[in-house]
Amino acid sequence: MASILQFDDEAARRLEKMYTTPDVVAQRAATVEALRPAEGESILDIGAGNGFLAGELGDRVGETGQIVGIDTSESMVAMAQARCADQPWVRFEVGDATALAFGHASFDAAVSAQVFSYIPDVNAALRETYRILKPGGHFVLLDTDWNTMSWNSSDPERMSKIMKIAVSHSADAFLPMTLTPRLMAAGFEIIDRAAFPIFNPEYDPETYSYGLIGMIASSLPTGDGLAQEEVDAWVADLHETGRNGDYFFSINRFIFVARKPA
Ligand SMILES: C[S@@+](CC[C@H](N)C(=O)[O-])C[C@H]1O[C@@H](n2cnc3c(N)ncnc32)[C@H](O)[C@@H]1O
């Protein structure tokens, strides 16, 4: 899969650390709040990753409900299964958003956080999500527009080069800008749209952006046009900026709430 991340065991472990930062905990809370899961509901989590969100949704629907998480990565599915082992009504399968292995109208709701920007055929994934929802079912989609990122650096040109390479492996690093017409073309009604900022004005290991430094550095393809020394200097500069008290990071996620008409 083409993305800024290769979702192997190591990426899964790095994500694990990032996903417990207050930034990402708050993002999950905003996603759950947007979905408003009710007891007894069945919900599909598309690209469920390491299962944090599915586990929290499992708590909300309770044992009379059902959460199914699908993901193309076997490592992620294994981690998610282990995390939610004490919630038998939460299960995970390897699967692809563009070819969901479920019948028409089989879920009350669907959610997908930070996944659709990695999918080359987003429109197909939206059509599939629409198909598996019951009439009146809600779909909450959260994704990032990397155009909204500000990250202070003593070398803005190098920052711009590194980020351009990092996001160029996403299928669409600016997806939220075009989501409204895409959702509507798939048949959805738009219920709500909101920006969710992640703002790290301080250098702190317990933040999303601190984890992002290592995540990006470990996934950049060095060689043609990008030397390892450049990546190392980019990493060192961000840490130095932090130690000097000049740290600043900000980015916007966007939360779309859509509904399959009743
Ligand atoms: C950044 S992670 C987000 C994980 C999770 N949704 C969360 O917010 O915690 C992106 C996930 O999408 C999965 N993914 C990418 N393309 C996919 C596809 N076409 N179908 C299903 N999952 C996909 C990846 O394997 C990865 O686990």
Instruction: Tell me what pLDDT residue 7 has.
Output: 58
Instruction: Tell me what pLDDT residue 53 has.
Output: 98
> Quick check: CB of 94 below 6 Å from ligand 1?
no
Instruction: Tell me what pLDDT residue 258 has.
Output: 98
Vertex 116: Cα angle to 112 and 122 (nearest 5): 125
Give the Å distance between the CA of 76 and the centre of ligand 1: 8
53 contacts 26 by C-beta, under 8 angstroms: no
For residue 210, what are the β-bridge partners? Answer: none
Closest residue by CA, ligand 1 atom 4: 49
Return the ligand 1 atom nearest residue 45 CA.
Answer: 6
In what helix (H) or strand (E) does residue 253 lie, and over which residues does it extend? strand 249-259
Closest residue by CA, ligand 1 atom 9: 49
**Which residues neighbour 211 within 8 Å (Cβ) at sequence distance 6 or greater?**
14, 17, 18, 21
In what helix (H) or strand (E) does residue 198 lie, and over which residues does it extend? strand 189-200
The residue type of 159 is M
**Lookup: tokens for 243:** 């130690």
Instruction: Tell me what pLDDT residue 225 has.
Output: 87
> Quick check: CB of 12 below 6 Å from ligand 1?
no
Give the Å distance between the CA of 229 and the centre of ligand 1: 30
Give the Å distance between the CA of 7 and the centre of ligand 1: 8
Instruction: Tell me what pLDDT residue 75 has.
Output: 87
CA gap 231, 159 in Å, rounded: 10
Q: What is the mean pLDDT of each run of 10 residues along the chain (262 residues)?
A: 52 81 98 98 97 98 98 93 98 98 98 98 98 98 98 97 92 98 98 98 96 92 88 97 96 98 96
**Lookup: tokens for 178:** 């075009």
Listed in order, strand segments (DSSP E) in 15-174 are 42-46, 66-71, 90-94, 107-113, 133-151
- pTM reported for the whole predicted model: 0.94
Q: Is 89 exposed, middle or buried (0-12, 13-18, 19+ CB in 10 A)?
A: middle
**What CATH number labels 9-149+171-200+250-259?**
3.40.50.150
Choose one of 31, 115, 126 to mutate for the ligand 1 pocket test, by most ligand atoms within 8 angstroms of C-beta: 115
